[in-house]
Structure 1
Amino acid sequence: MTKTNPLEFIQQVRSETSKVTWPTRRETLVTTVMVFIMVAFAMVFFFLVDLGLSNIVSFVLGLGGN
C-alpha cells in the first residue's frame, strides 16, 4: 500500500466529506425522538417480560407468597 503525505490525505478527506449528504437539523431531531420512543417501548416490553417470567419461575418453584 502506498503512503500518502499528510497534506494529500487531508485533501482526500475534504473531497470525500464534500460528497456526503448530511441530514438536516429537522431530520436529526426526528430521528433522535424516534430512537427515544423505541427505547421506551423496548424498556416497557422487557420490564413486562421480566416481571412475567419471574412470576412464572416463582410459581413453578413454589417460592410464591402462599
Structure 2
Amino acid sequence: MAKANPAQFIQQVRAEVSKVVWPTRREVLLTTGMVFVLAALTSVFFFLVDLTIRTGLQGLLGMFG
C-alpha cells in the first residue's frame, strides 16, 4: 500500500469531516434525556424482578427451613 503525502492526508481528513452531519444542541439534549429515562425505567424493572425473585426464594426456603 502506498503511503500518502501528509498534506494530502490532512486535506482528505478535512474533506471527510466536512461531510459529517453534526447533531443540533436540541437533538443532543433530547437523546441524552431519553438515555436517562430509559436507564431509570430499566433500573426499576430489574429492581422489581430482583424483589420478586428474592421474595419467592425466601418464601420457598421458609417453607422448608
Q: CA RMSD in A?
A: 1.6
> TM-score normalised to the size of structure 1?
0.81
Shift >6 Å, 4+ stretches: none
Alpha-carbon distance in structure 2 between the residues aligned to 1:59 and 1:3: 70
Query: Using CA pairs below 8 Å that are at least 6 residues apart, which structure has the higher relative contact order?
Result: 1
Alpha-carbon distance in structure 2 between the residues aligned to 1:58 and 1:18: 60
Unpaired stretches in structure 2, ≥5 consecutive residues = none
1:11: how far off? 1.6
> TM-score normalised to the size of structure 2?
0.82
Alpha-carbon distance in structure 2 between the residues aligned to 1:51 and 1:17: 49
Matching residue of 2:18:
18
Unpaired stretches in structure 1, ≥5 consecutive residues = none
User: Number of paired residues?
Assistant: 63
Do residues 51 (structure 1) and 40 (structure 2) align?
no
